[in-house]
Structures are given as structure tokens and as C-alpha cells.
Amino acid sequence: MSMEQNTKKWEEWRMQGIGGSDVASILKVSPYKTPFQLWEEKLGLVNQSDNNNFIFQKGHRLEPKIRAMYEIQSDLSAKPELVMRSDMPHHRASLDGRDKQKKIIAEFKFVGAGDKWKLALEGRLPAEYYAQCQWQLWVTGDNYVNYVPYNEKENKIKIIKVTPDLDYIKNMVTEVNLFWDLVQNKKEPELIDQDWKKIRSTELKEMINELKELAPQVKRFDTLKKAIKDHKSLNHARCEAYGVKIYEKTRAGSVDWKTIVKDNLPDIDTSKYQKASTKYKEIKL
């Protein structure tokens, strides 16, 4: 399909179906977006966020360079292309590069020199990129994807071959179609822990409004309390000023068990002695 990527027309085309970068969210392996957030985007309830991402923008700028390095090292063509399945037109993919004759896809990623590059040196790729590659194979029917991460610091690429995983693809297609039905029917997907559930309650609204009004006073209270404690005139263990008593207290220091274990039992695995985590609520105004 002839259409320039990263244009308004391309964004509209993406909104009309599911692309490779969407699949990781649907499968709940994306560190960036939940199924609910993607659902909101597909319905136009919020703006799409991918293109505002610094890494996305830098990767887009570096793409011509990565493509040239890849074509030289692989001796393959890597022409950008938009594709969609004729039997399921909402199944779509924006390919960074494709050798259509040899049926080989190229997926370029700017990953820096961190954990994703370390994974690449081991011949592996993050779960969200694996999902994207498998989706591209499903949409195109091509032989394999060359996942191509780029390390700008070392000015190097790594080429990792990703072949079709049929069991993975079968599950992925099922999940995508279930999600697309939710979009078509405007039915919210189930929220996960990373989502913000919107609560509407008159009683809660009144309490929150009062809390917002009191918050500056609490902050001022804490600031004044600290300023009083630090005042230079309080140079005695026990002081009284205008009906307020300011005095010193001594708290026994806690035992640094972590250092004791480290110094005396360096080989012990402390994780099995770690207590279960507890959940608590925090309020952020």
C-alpha cells in the first residue's frame, strides 16, 4: 500500500485497525500502554501518544541510517510498506522495511546501550517487540522478520532472525479479535493494575475538594514546624516559647541486619527470608 508513514493520513489508517505496535498492549506485555488505554485511543477518546515519545522520535530520525547499515550487512532490500490482510482488513502492519521478493521483513529499533541492547547481544528481544514481529509475520505471511536494534553509542546494529511461532500467533489473533470487538461495540476492556479507574461519587468529591483546600495549610504547617525546630535560639535540651515546648529526644539506632548478613554470611540468599509485600493506599493531589 502506498502511503507515507508518520503522516496524518497514516495515523487515520492505523486508527481503523490493529497494528504491530498495538499488539503488545492487547497481550499485556507492553511497558507503555494498557489494553484500556489503547481502547481509548482507538475510539478517539484520547490522543495517540506514541509519536510524542522521545525514543520514538529519535528512532524515526535514525531510521534511514539504520536501514542503510542493515541493507549493507544483510544484502537485503528494506523498503517501508503498509500491509493489511484481505480476509481481516483490521489486521494491519506498518513495516519499517521489507524485501518483498524474498519475503523478509526488517524491524528497526533504536535501543541505546542498555538492557535491550544486552538482550540483543544474547540473541533475544523484549516481549513487546517479539509480539510486534509475530504480528507482522501473521499479517504478511512472510518467511521471517529480521529484528534490528541499533546502539548509537557503539554505532552498531544486531540482526536477529524471528521465525513464525504458530501457537503464539494463534493465541495472539484470538486476543486481537476479542479486543477489536470491544472497540467496535464500545465496551471497555477489563482494567489492569496500571490503569486509573475513574470514580464518580458526590460524597468523595466533597471530601476531596476539602482536602485540596487544606493541603496548602498542611504544607505550611510542616514548613513552620521545621523552621521552629531549626531556630538558632533553641540551644538548650529543653526550651519553652510562648506556651510551646521544644525539646530533644533520643531514639536508639536500628540494627543494620543487611550489613551484618553481607559481612558474615556473604553467600546466603536473603530473598527466601523476605516477608510478603503489603499493599497500602497513597493520595497524590
Give the residue with greater pLDDT, 3 vs 209: 209
pLDDT at 143 (0 to 100): 98
Query: What are the DSSP calls for 86-119, one per residue?
Result: SSSTTBEEEESEEETTTTEEEEEEE-TTSHHHHH
Q: If you average pLDDT over residues 162-176, what whole number do you get?
A: 98
Q: What is the pLDDT at residue 55?
A: 59
Is the per-residue pLDDT at 220 higher than 60? yes
- Sign of the C-alpha dihedral, residues 118, 120, 125, 128? positive
Residue 16's CB is within 10 A of a number of other CB atoms, namely 11
Average pLDDT across the chain, whole number: 91
Residue 62 is predicted with a pLDDT of 87
Does the pLDDT at position 2 exceed 70?
no
Distance CA 121, CA 109 (A): 14
Q: Where are the beta strands (DSSP E) in the chain?
A: 81-84, 92-95, 97-99, 104-110, 144-151, 156-157, 160-162, 238-241, 244-247
Range with the poorest average pLDDT among 3-12, 149-158, 227-236: 3-12
pLDDT at 178 over 70: yes
Q: Which residue has the higher pLDDT, 78 or 279?
A: 78
pTM over 0.85: no
How far separated are the first and last CA of the chain, in Å rounded?
47
Tens digits of residue pLDDT in 85-126? 999 999 999 999 999 999 999 999 999 889 999 999 999 999
Section 32-36 average pLDDT: 95
**What pLDDT score does 124 carry?**
96
148: nearest Cα among 84, 54, 55, 73: 73
Torsion sign over Cα 3, 7, 8, 11: positive
Confidence of residue 247 (pLDDT cuts 50, 70, 90): very high
- Three-class SS of residue 198? coil
Cβ atoms of 143 and 111 closer than 8 Å: no
pLDDT at position 6, please? 67
Contact 25, 18 (CB under 8 A): no
Give the per-residue pLDDT at 201. Answer: 95
Listed range (28-37, 47-56, 68-77) with the worst mean pLDDT? 47-56
